[in-house]
Amino acid sequence: MSMAIEIKDLTLVIEGRTILDVPEFTLAAGESVSLMGPNGAGKSSLMLVMALLQEPTSGELKYFGRKLEDYPRLELQRRMAMVFQKPMLLDLSVLENVDLGLKFRGLSRRERSSRINDSLEQMEVAHLAKRRARTLSGGEAQRVAIAQALVVEPEIIFLDEPFSNLDKEIREEMMLHIDQWLRQKHITTVMVTHHRREADVMTDTVYWMEDGAIVSRESVETGEKCES
Ligand SMILES: Nc1ncnc2c1ncn2[C@@H]1O[C@H](COP(=O)(O)OP(=O)(O)O)[C@@H](O)[C@H]1O
Ligand SMILES: [Mg+2]
């Protein structure tokens, strides 16, 4: 089994406080996992570290079997995408926001345009393409942020409470769409959620976090749980 991410002896200490203490964590290529646990447990911090957006205090990280230090950082970042707890969009149109990552990756205009259409349609925000991102509602912005992450077809995607701003009716539909997309493209997925239903539908394994540590691992299919 090939590994997407391997973590060893990871710590994150901020102002003398231990935010993360993760002796070991591995994510197989193509695997989908949820991080669950109370507020302040360190779920977002762990995702930020894995997405290379937060420098850990110590630890060893491997991506696709190679040490982090052996990669040009940019090359590795291009293979990943993240949806933040609060959607982060620039003061541009929806279309321009979704196009950013594609431009960054040097795709042709034609390829970009077809992918943008696809992902906006998936997320049911195609009608908003020309709108300025700052005029969107919270739920619309969140859907655009997800489109922005999906459009680059990352090998690993990090979703931090991706449905939290969505109404109940649209939440279920979006979840099923995204689940289908991620599985079809075999995208390795790490999702933070407070909803067991989302974890069950979208992921194979649930990791429970408390006080900066992973305290147990549970298989969605078998319900088997092991403490760590
Ligand atoms: N940049 C930061 N500076 C100081 N404390 C932080 C920072 N980021 C996170 N924390 C603290 O780390 C802990 C874990 O936060 P977080 O990873 O956001 O938890 P979760 O996503 O599980 O709610 C919290 O106590 C939070 O206040
Ligand atoms: Mg969080």
Q: Considering its fold, how many domains does the chain have in total? A: 1
Q: Which region holds residue 144: left if phi is over 0, alpha if psi is between -120 and 50, else beta?
A: alpha
pLDDT at 31 over 90: yes
pLDDT at 228 over 80: no
Residue 114 belongs to some domain of the structure: yes
Give, to the nearest 10 degrees, the angle between helix 109-122 and helix 94-104. Answer: 130
DSSP character for 57?
S
CA–centroid distance, residue 44 to ligand 2 (Å): 4
As a whole number, mean pLDDT of residues 17-35 equals: 97
Pocket of ligand 1 (CB under 6 A): 14, 19, 39-45
DSSP character for 224?
-
pLDDT at 1 over 90: no
What mean pLDDT is reported for the chain?
Answer: 95
Residue 101 belongs to some domain of the structure: yes
pTM of the complete model beyond 0.85: yes
For position 162, which CATH number holds?
A: 3.40.50.300
Residue 21 belongs to some domain of the structure: no
227: confidence class by pLDDT, cuts 50, 70, 90: confident
Distance in angstroms (rounded) separating the CA atoms of residues 69 and 134 = 37
Residue 192 belongs to some domain of the structure: yes
Residue 205 belongs to some domain of the structure: yes
As a whole number, mean pLDDT of residues 4-31 equals: 98
Query: Which residue's alpha carbon is nearest to atom 2 within ligand 1?
Result: 14
Residue 64 belongs to some domain of the structure: no
Query: Which residue's alpha carbon is nearest to atom 1 within ligand 1?
Result: 14
pLDDT at 223 over 90: no
* pLDDT for 168: 87
Q: In which domain, by residue range, is 34 found?
A: 30-48+74-227
Q: What is the pLDDT of residues 147-184, one digit of tens each?
A: 999 999 999 999 999 999 898 888 998 899 899 999 99
Residue to probe by mutation, ligand 1, list 45, 82, 215, most atoms within 8 Å of CB: 45
Query: Which residue's alpha carbon is nearest to atom 25 within ligand 1?
Result: 40
Q: What is the pLDDT of residues 87-124, one digit of tens each?
A: 889 999 999 999 999 998 899 999 999 999 999 999 99
